[in-house]
Copies of this chain bind each other. A is one copy, B any other.
Amino acid sequence: MSMTIADIARLAGVSRATVSGVLNNNPTVSAKTKKRIAEIIEQHNFRPNEVARALALQHTALIALVIKDVSNPFYSKISLGVEQVCAEQGYSVIIGNSQQDVAREIDYLGLLERKRVDGMIILPLQAHEDYSLFKNLQKAGYPLVLLAEIPGIKTDLVRVDDEKGAYNATRHLLKLGRRNVVFVSGPETALASQRRLAGFQKAFEVEGMDFSARNIVAGGWRYQDGYNAGKKMFEQLLFVPDGVLCYNDSVAIGFIRALTEKGFRVPEIAVIGFDDAGAGAYLPTALTTVAQPAIQIGRLAALVLFRRIKNRTKKIEKIILDTELVVRESCGAHLTVPVEN
């Protein structure tokens, strides 16, 4: 149906090799044939079949990005960054949503072997029984960039310093005089949640405050998860906090909704989110949050991946970016004088 290089060769009265030469701007083909054939190509609107090209060249100009769920604003921004630099480099990106499901994630990992994508950026779940698959893939030389560590594996990595981010946010709350502060956690399969919890806890220590199980409540990563957590908390009223650090902005937004429904208000209850993706900045009471440079994370991950694709021997890159506490209204900083200690 569509033209092939052989058709063009026939039309031009020349060999396929020559046509290939002009396609790839090979200096060995003369300027005049180049022009002549280029015209014929143009005329017939011939586009070389990249599948055939991929087979011959052993690379597909495709990479895969596997995240939990593009409909989460933070991940969608990462994907935007990834796609940006891929487009610049002439690559396309296959996107996979693991949906927090290990089986799906494993399935996507298979794209490396099956579809021969040139590399993969992946936010691995922390729920695998073992990580030999990752280990094997990496040992087999497949370019892999992670967005979160995997136990016992050294690979290129781009992430943010979750612990420090949570630590700073928590200290901020504490400095503002909040004393009943809780952390609404993320999904158990997220290493980032554990890290943020660690930072949260550390702030308690540093401020010399007691920390107990009451300071943690189980959350999740979606609006609904935050809402549920808040609902439960404000229905039972076992413990009414005056400060809350949430796993991410979506959880914070859901939590705030729940608290509002029960007649409480922000920032009387101070709330801080994490990510700074999505609607937070535009809430009626704008959300204070630990901002991650999501697009930048995506861009860097892609850049690191390309470096690895091009140069298989280079040593491992581990990029850990800083977060930034973006103080808006929901933490009450604009109302309260910080407590010095």
Contact = CB atoms under 8 A, between A and B. Distances in A.
Nearest to A52: B55
Given A47-B110, A49-B116, A94-B95, 16 more contacts: A50-B114, A50-B115, A51-B115, A62-B115, A70-B79, A71-B73, A71-B277, A76-B76, A80-B97, A83-B96, A93-B94, A93-B95, A226-B282, A227-B282, A254-B282, A278-B278
Contact of A140 (B2, B76, B95): B2
Interface string A277-296: 11101111110000000000
A318 interface: no
Contacts of A279: 223, 250, 253, 278-279
A187 B9 CA distance: 46
B284 A260 contact: yes
A127 interface: no
A135 interface: no
A257 B284 contact: yes
A77 B75 CA distance: 13
Contacts of A281: 223
Interface in A12-33: none
Interface residues of A, number: 59
A69 B73 contact: no
A92 interface: yes
A1 interface: yes
A201 interface: no
A341 to B, nearest CB: 32
A263 B165 CA distance: 33
Interface string A222-251: 010011000000000000000000000010
A115 B94 contact: no
A83 B55 contact: no
A69 B80 contact: yes
Given A50-B115, A51-B116, A96-B83, A70 B62 contact: no
B286 A257 contact: yes
B51 A79 contact: no
B87 A80 contact: no
B94 A62 contact: yes
A230 to B, nearest CB: 10
Interface string A97-118: 1000000100100110111100
Contacts of A223: 279, 281-282
B114 A95 contact: no
Contacts of A50: 114-116
Contacts of A61: 115
B94 A94 contact: yes
A92 B96 contact: yes
B80 A71 contact: yes
Nearest to A73: B71
A54 B2 CA distance: 16
A227 B286 CA distance: 13
A78 to B, nearest CB: 9
6 contacts: A50-B115, A51-B54, A55-B55, A62-B115, A253-B282, A279-B279
Contacts of A115: 50-51, 61-62, 92
A256 B284 contact: yes
